[in-house]
Amino acid sequence: MAIGAFIHAGRSLDAAVDRVRRADELGYESVYVTHIAARDSLTLLARHATATERVRLGTGVLPIFSRTPAATAQTAATIDEISGGRMVLGLGVSHQAIVEDWYAAKITKPVQQMREYVAIVRAILRGKTPPEGEFFRSRFAFLGYTPRPDLPIYVAALSPKMLRLAGEIADGVMLWLCNPDYIRETVIPAVAEGRKRVGKELAGFDVVAAVPVAVADDIEAARNAFRRDLIPYASRPFYRRMLTNSGFGDDLAAFDEGMASGDTERAMAGLSDELLASLAGIGTPEDVRAKVAEYQTAGATLPCIGGIPGQGFDEALAAVAELIESATAG
Protein backbone atom coordinates (compact mmCIF):
# COMPACT_ATOMS: atom_id res chain seq x y z
CA MET A 1 0.00 0.00 0.00
CA ALA A 2 1.49 3.33 -1.09
CA ILE A 3 0.89 6.08 1.47
CA GLY A 4 2.33 9.57 1.66
CA ALA A 5 2.34 12.45 4.11
CA PHE A 6 1.94 16.20 4.07
CA ILE A 7 4.50 17.51 6.54
CA HIS A 8 4.48 21.21 7.42
CA ALA A 9 7.64 22.90 8.65
CA GLY A 10 5.82 24.64 11.49
CA ARG A 11 7.85 26.71 13.91
CA SER A 12 10.92 24.48 13.87
CA LEU A 13 12.74 23.61 10.66
CA ASP A 14 14.88 21.04 12.45
CA ALA A 15 11.78 19.30 13.82
CA ALA A 16 10.26 19.20 10.35
CA VAL A 17 13.42 17.70 8.87
CA ASP A 18 13.44 15.05 11.60
CA ARG A 19 9.79 14.24 10.87
CA VAL A 20 10.47 13.88 7.14
CA ARG A 21 13.47 11.68 7.89
CA ARG A 22 11.24 9.53 10.08
CA ALA A 23 8.65 9.21 7.30
CA ASP A 24 11.44 8.05 5.02
CA GLU A 25 12.53 5.42 7.53
CA LEU A 26 8.94 4.26 8.16
CA GLY A 27 8.41 3.46 4.50
CA TYR A 28 6.18 6.33 3.36
CA GLU A 29 6.12 6.57 -0.42
CA SER A 30 6.29 10.36 -0.57
CA VAL A 31 6.31 13.55 1.46
CA TYR A 32 4.71 16.79 0.29
CA VAL A 33 5.21 20.29 1.63
CA THR A 34 2.74 23.14 1.27
CA HIS A 35 3.54 26.61 -0.05
CA ILE A 36 2.08 28.98 2.54
CA ALA A 37 3.03 32.31 4.10
CA ALA A 38 6.10 30.85 5.74
CA ARG A 39 9.11 28.99 4.32
CA ASP A 40 9.48 28.51 0.58
CA SER A 41 8.33 25.01 -0.37
CA LEU A 42 10.94 24.32 -3.04
CA THR A 43 13.81 25.42 -0.80
CA LEU A 44 12.43 23.15 1.92
CA LEU A 45 12.47 20.21 -0.47
CA ALA A 46 16.15 20.79 -1.19
CA ARG A 47 16.81 20.57 2.54
CA HIS A 48 14.70 17.42 2.89
CA ALA A 49 16.52 15.84 -0.05
CA THR A 50 19.81 15.98 1.82
CA ALA A 51 18.25 14.37 4.92
CA THR A 52 16.50 11.43 3.22
CA GLU A 53 17.43 8.51 1.02
CA ARG A 54 14.35 6.95 -0.54
CA VAL A 55 11.09 8.88 -0.11
CA ARG A 56 9.77 10.95 -3.03
CA LEU A 57 9.58 14.68 -2.32
CA GLY A 58 7.00 17.05 -3.75
CA THR A 59 5.32 20.42 -3.56
CA GLY A 60 1.76 20.15 -2.36
CA VAL A 61 1.28 22.54 -4.05
CA LEU A 62 3.27 25.37 -5.60
CA PRO A 63 1.04 28.24 -6.82
CA ILE A 64 1.76 28.82 -10.50
CA PHE A 65 1.71 32.60 -10.03
CA SER A 66 4.52 32.50 -7.46
CA ARG A 67 7.20 31.84 -10.09
CA THR A 68 7.58 32.01 -13.82
CA PRO A 69 7.37 28.65 -15.62
CA ALA A 70 11.09 28.88 -16.41
CA ALA A 71 12.05 29.50 -12.79
CA THR A 72 9.87 26.60 -11.67
CA ALA A 73 11.34 24.21 -14.25
CA GLN A 74 14.89 25.22 -13.35
CA THR A 75 14.37 24.89 -9.59
CA ALA A 76 12.43 21.61 -9.82
CA ALA A 77 15.09 20.09 -12.07
CA THR A 78 17.82 21.12 -9.64
CA ILE A 79 16.01 19.61 -6.64
CA ASP A 80 15.40 16.48 -8.69
CA GLU A 81 19.15 16.18 -9.27
CA ILE A 82 19.98 16.86 -5.61
CA SER A 83 17.51 14.18 -4.50
CA GLY A 84 18.61 11.57 -7.02
CA GLY A 85 15.44 11.71 -9.11
CA ARG A 86 12.85 11.91 -6.32
CA MET A 87 11.19 15.25 -7.12
CA VAL A 88 7.45 15.59 -7.79
CA LEU A 89 6.21 18.98 -8.96
CA GLY A 90 2.72 19.68 -7.63
CA LEU A 91 1.15 22.81 -9.12
CA GLY A 92 -2.05 24.72 -8.34
CA VAL A 93 -3.71 27.98 -9.31
CA SER A 94 -4.31 28.83 -5.61
CA HIS A 95 -7.10 31.31 -4.79
CA GLN A 96 -7.93 34.78 -6.04
CA ALA A 97 -7.30 36.65 -2.80
CA ILE A 98 -3.93 34.97 -2.29
CA VAL A 99 -2.86 35.44 -5.89
CA GLU A 100 -3.78 39.13 -5.87
CA ASP A 101 -2.42 39.97 -2.41
CA TRP A 102 0.77 37.90 -2.52
CA TYR A 103 1.76 37.81 -6.19
CA ALA A 104 0.03 40.85 -7.74
CA ALA A 105 -1.57 38.60 -10.34
CA LYS A 106 -5.09 37.52 -11.26
CA ILE A 107 -6.84 34.23 -11.83
CA THR A 108 -8.97 34.95 -14.88
CA LYS A 109 -9.11 31.68 -16.82
CA PRO A 110 -7.77 29.09 -14.35
CA VAL A 111 -7.97 26.05 -16.63
CA GLN A 112 -6.26 27.83 -19.52
CA GLN A 113 -3.66 29.38 -17.23
CA MET A 114 -2.79 25.99 -15.77
CA ARG A 115 -2.67 24.39 -19.22
CA GLU A 116 -0.24 27.02 -20.52
CA TYR A 117 1.97 26.87 -17.44
CA VAL A 118 2.34 23.08 -17.48
CA ALA A 119 2.99 23.05 -21.23
CA ILE A 120 5.88 25.49 -20.85
CA VAL A 121 7.42 23.67 -17.87
CA ARG A 122 7.21 20.33 -19.70
CA ALA A 123 8.74 21.77 -22.86
CA ILE A 124 11.67 23.24 -20.92
CA LEU A 125 12.30 19.95 -19.09
CA ARG A 126 12.21 18.06 -22.39
CA GLY A 127 14.54 20.43 -24.18
CA LYS A 128 11.87 21.65 -26.57
CA THR A 129 10.80 25.15 -27.58
CA PRO A 130 8.16 26.33 -25.10
CA PRO A 131 4.79 27.26 -26.61
CA GLU A 132 3.61 30.85 -26.29
CA GLY A 133 0.31 31.35 -24.52
CA GLU A 134 -2.00 34.19 -23.69
CA PHE A 135 -0.82 34.33 -20.07
CA PHE A 136 2.61 32.68 -19.97
CA ARG A 137 5.58 32.57 -22.32
CA SER A 138 9.28 31.80 -22.06
CA ARG A 139 12.35 31.40 -24.25
CA PHE A 140 14.36 29.70 -21.53
CA ALA A 141 16.46 26.66 -22.40
CA PHE A 142 18.99 24.69 -20.34
CA LEU A 143 22.58 25.07 -21.48
CA GLY A 144 25.11 22.31 -20.79
CA TYR A 145 22.68 20.48 -18.55
CA THR A 146 20.01 17.88 -19.28
CA PRO A 147 17.30 17.46 -16.63
CA ARG A 148 15.04 14.44 -16.24
CA PRO A 149 12.53 14.97 -19.05
CA ASP A 150 9.76 12.95 -17.42
CA LEU A 151 9.86 14.65 -14.00
CA PRO A 152 6.31 14.04 -12.69
CA ILE A 153 3.91 16.98 -12.67
CA TYR A 154 0.72 16.81 -10.60
CA VAL A 155 -2.11 19.35 -10.82
CA ALA A 156 -4.23 20.39 -7.85
CA ALA A 157 -7.91 20.25 -8.71
CA LEU A 158 -11.36 20.49 -7.16
CA SER A 159 -13.80 21.29 -9.97
CA PRO A 160 -14.70 18.86 -12.76
CA LYS A 161 -13.10 21.16 -15.35
CA MET A 162 -9.75 21.26 -13.56
CA LEU A 163 -9.99 17.54 -12.79
CA ARG A 164 -10.45 16.79 -16.49
CA LEU A 165 -7.49 19.01 -17.31
CA ALA A 166 -5.35 17.17 -14.75
CA GLY A 167 -6.24 13.87 -16.38
CA GLU A 168 -5.36 15.31 -19.77
CA ILE A 169 -2.01 17.04 -19.12
CA ALA A 170 -0.61 15.80 -15.81
CA ASP A 171 0.85 12.66 -14.27
CA GLY A 172 -1.39 12.92 -11.23
CA VAL A 173 -3.98 15.02 -9.44
CA MET A 174 -3.67 16.46 -5.93
CA LEU A 175 -6.77 16.74 -3.75
CA TRP A 176 -7.38 18.65 -0.55
CA LEU A 177 -10.60 18.38 1.50
CA CYS A 178 -12.14 16.01 -1.04
CA ASN A 179 -13.91 13.29 0.92
CA PRO A 180 -14.08 9.68 -0.29
CA ASP A 181 -17.57 10.08 -1.77
CA TYR A 182 -16.45 13.09 -3.81
CA ILE A 183 -13.40 11.17 -5.00
CA ARG A 184 -15.52 8.20 -6.05
CA GLU A 185 -18.38 10.13 -7.65
CA THR A 186 -16.68 13.23 -9.11
CA VAL A 187 -12.88 12.98 -9.16
CA ILE A 188 -12.38 9.58 -10.75
CA PRO A 189 -14.96 10.03 -13.56
CA ALA A 190 -13.67 13.51 -14.44
CA VAL A 191 -10.02 12.45 -14.44
CA ALA A 192 -10.86 9.37 -16.51
CA GLU A 193 -12.62 11.61 -19.05
CA GLY A 194 -9.51 13.78 -19.30
CA ARG A 195 -7.32 10.74 -19.82
CA LYS A 196 -9.64 9.47 -22.52
CA ARG A 197 -9.36 12.77 -24.39
CA VAL A 198 -5.66 12.11 -24.96
CA GLY A 199 -5.99 8.38 -25.55
CA LYS A 200 -4.76 7.26 -22.14
CA GLU A 201 -6.10 4.92 -19.49
CA LEU A 202 -6.62 5.82 -15.85
CA ALA A 203 -4.10 3.16 -14.85
CA GLY A 204 -0.75 4.69 -13.96
CA PHE A 205 -2.27 8.07 -13.08
CA ASP A 206 -1.75 9.12 -9.45
CA VAL A 207 -4.67 10.35 -7.36
CA VAL A 208 -3.07 12.01 -4.33
CA ALA A 209 -5.63 12.72 -1.61
CA ALA A 210 -4.87 14.55 1.62
CA VAL A 211 -6.30 12.78 4.68
CA PRO A 212 -6.41 14.98 7.81
CA VAL A 213 -5.64 12.76 10.82
CA ALA A 214 -5.05 12.90 14.54
CA VAL A 215 -4.57 10.21 17.16
CA ALA A 216 -6.42 11.79 20.06
CA ASP A 217 -7.92 10.86 23.43
CA ASP A 218 -9.95 14.08 23.56
CA ILE A 219 -12.00 13.66 20.39
CA GLU A 220 -13.98 16.87 20.81
CA ALA A 221 -10.83 18.96 21.25
CA ALA A 222 -9.35 17.45 18.12
CA ARG A 223 -12.57 18.09 16.18
CA ASN A 224 -12.60 21.72 17.28
CA ALA A 225 -8.97 22.10 16.25
CA PHE A 226 -9.93 20.76 12.83
CA ARG A 227 -12.94 23.12 12.68
CA ARG A 228 -10.65 26.07 13.33
CA ASP A 229 -8.25 24.85 10.65
CA LEU A 230 -11.15 24.72 8.16
CA ILE A 231 -12.15 28.39 8.59
CA PRO A 232 -10.11 29.79 5.68
CA TYR A 233 -11.14 26.95 3.38
CA ALA A 234 -14.84 27.38 4.17
CA SER A 235 -14.44 31.00 3.08
CA ARG A 236 -12.86 30.37 -0.35
CA PRO A 237 -15.02 29.97 -3.47
CA PHE A 238 -13.28 26.90 -4.96
CA TYR A 239 -13.65 24.92 -1.73
CA ARG A 240 -17.16 26.20 -1.07
CA ARG A 241 -18.38 24.92 -4.43
CA MET A 242 -16.78 21.54 -3.86
CA LEU A 243 -18.18 21.23 -0.31
CA THR A 244 -21.63 22.28 -1.51
CA ASN A 245 -21.49 19.65 -4.24
CA SER A 246 -20.48 17.16 -1.56
CA GLY A 247 -23.76 17.81 0.29
CA PHE A 248 -22.56 20.25 2.94
CA GLY A 249 -24.31 23.42 1.80
CA ASP A 250 -26.21 23.66 5.10
CA ASP A 251 -22.93 23.57 7.00
CA LEU A 252 -21.63 26.48 4.94
CA ALA A 253 -24.85 28.44 5.48
CA ALA A 254 -24.52 28.02 9.25
CA PHE A 255 -20.84 28.91 9.01
CA ASP A 256 -21.69 32.08 7.07
CA GLU A 257 -24.24 33.16 9.68
CA GLY A 258 -21.65 32.88 12.39
CA MET A 259 -19.00 34.77 10.44
CA ALA A 260 -21.50 37.51 9.50
CA SER A 261 -22.28 38.04 13.18
CA GLY A 262 -18.59 38.21 14.05
CA ASP A 263 -18.86 35.06 16.16
CA THR A 264 -16.09 32.69 15.10
CA GLU A 265 -17.10 30.03 17.62
CA ARG A 266 -20.63 30.00 16.23
CA ALA A 267 -19.26 29.76 12.70
CA MET A 268 -17.08 26.80 13.68
CA ALA A 269 -20.05 25.08 15.32
CA GLY A 270 -21.83 25.26 11.97
CA LEU A 271 -19.32 22.78 10.57
CA SER A 272 -20.99 19.54 11.61
CA ASP A 273 -19.48 16.38 13.03
CA GLU A 274 -20.72 14.69 9.85
CA LEU A 275 -18.62 17.01 7.70
CA LEU A 276 -15.56 16.45 9.87
CA ALA A 277 -16.02 12.67 9.87
CA SER A 278 -16.35 12.62 6.08
CA LEU A 279 -12.93 14.23 5.74
CA ALA A 280 -10.75 13.26 8.69
CA GLY A 281 -9.58 10.31 10.71
CA ILE A 282 -9.71 11.40 14.36
CA GLY A 283 -9.51 9.08 17.36
CA THR A 284 -7.64 5.85 17.95
CA PRO A 285 -4.84 4.52 15.74
CA GLU A 286 -7.43 2.11 14.34
CA ASP A 287 -9.73 5.03 13.46
CA VAL A 288 -6.90 6.75 11.62
CA ARG A 289 -5.92 3.64 9.69
CA ALA A 290 -9.55 2.97 8.75
CA LYS A 291 -9.91 6.47 7.30
CA VAL A 292 -6.80 6.08 5.17
CA ALA A 293 -8.14 2.77 3.87
CA GLU A 294 -11.49 4.42 3.10
CA TYR A 295 -9.77 6.99 0.88
CA GLN A 296 -7.87 4.27 -0.90
CA THR A 297 -11.03 2.24 -1.52
CA ALA A 298 -12.66 5.35 -3.01
CA GLY A 299 -9.94 5.59 -5.65
CA ALA A 300 -7.05 7.49 -4.09
CA THR A 301 -3.92 5.72 -5.32
CA LEU A 302 -1.85 7.69 -2.83
CA PRO A 303 -3.67 8.77 0.34
CA CYS A 304 -1.44 11.25 2.17
CA ILE A 305 -1.97 11.93 5.84
CA GLY A 306 -1.79 15.49 7.07
CA GLY A 307 -1.77 16.90 10.57
CA ILE A 308 -4.41 18.86 12.45
CA PRO A 309 -2.75 21.74 14.34
CA GLY A 310 -1.82 20.84 17.90
CA GLN A 311 -3.05 17.26 17.63
CA GLY A 312 -1.36 13.86 17.55
CA PHE A 313 0.31 13.76 14.14
CA ASP A 314 3.47 11.93 15.22
CA GLU A 315 1.31 9.18 16.70
CA ALA A 316 -0.71 9.06 13.47
CA LEU A 317 2.49 8.85 11.43
CA ALA A 318 3.48 5.75 13.40
CA ALA A 319 -0.02 4.26 13.32
CA VAL A 320 -0.39 4.53 9.56
CA ALA A 321 3.10 3.11 9.08
CA GLU A 322 1.64 -0.17 10.33
CA LEU A 323 -0.51 -0.28 7.18
CA ILE A 324 2.61 0.16 5.08
CA GLU A 325 4.46 -2.53 7.03
CA SER A 326 1.63 -5.03 6.78
CA ALA A 327 1.22 -4.42 3.03
CA THR A 328 4.96 -4.89 2.53
CA ALA A 329 4.98 -8.07 4.61
CA GLY A 330 2.00 -9.42 2.68
> Of all residues in the chain, what percent carry a pLDDT higher than 90?
93
Could you report the per-residue pLDDT of 195-215, keeping only the tens digit for each?
A: 999 999 999 999 999 999 999
pLDDT at 328: 78
Comparing CA positions, the residue from 267, 311, 294 lying closest to residue 179 is: 294
Query: Is the per-residue pLDDT at 329 higher than 80?
Result: no
Query: Is the per-residue pLDDT at 299 higher than 70?
Result: yes
What is the rounded average pLDDT of the residues 57-73? 97
Report which residue type is found at 224.
N
Query: Is the per-residue pLDDT at 140 higher than 80?
Result: yes
Q: pLDDT class for 95, splitting at 50, 70, 90?
A: confident
3-class secondary structure for 196-253? HHCCCCCCCCEEEEEEEEEECCCHHHHHHHHHHHHHHHHCCHHHHHHHHHCCCHHHHH
Who wins on pLDDT, 10 or 64?
64
What is the rounded average pLDDT of the residues 230-254? 95
pLDDT at 38: 85
Q: How far is CA 48 from the centre of its chain?
A: 17
pLDDT at 330: 64
Domains of the chain: 4-217+281-329 (3.20.20.30)
Query: Is the per-residue pLDDT at 188 higher than 70?
Result: yes
Identify the three-state secondary structure at position 175: strand
**Angle separating helix axes 285-298 and 313-329, nearest 10 degrees:** 60
Q: pLDDT class for 150, splitting at 50, 70, 90?
A: very high
Q: pLDDT class for 176, splitting at 50, 70, 90?
A: very high
Comparing CA positions, the residue from 175, 177, 185 lying closest to residue 208 is: 175
Q: Give 205's contacts (C-beta < 8 A, 6+ positions apart).
A: 167, 171, 172, 173, 191, 195, 301
Query: Is the per-residue pLDDT at 37 higher than 90?
Result: no
Query: Is the per-residue pLDDT at 14 higher than 70?
Result: yes
Query: Is the per-residue pLDDT at 97 higher than 90?
Result: no
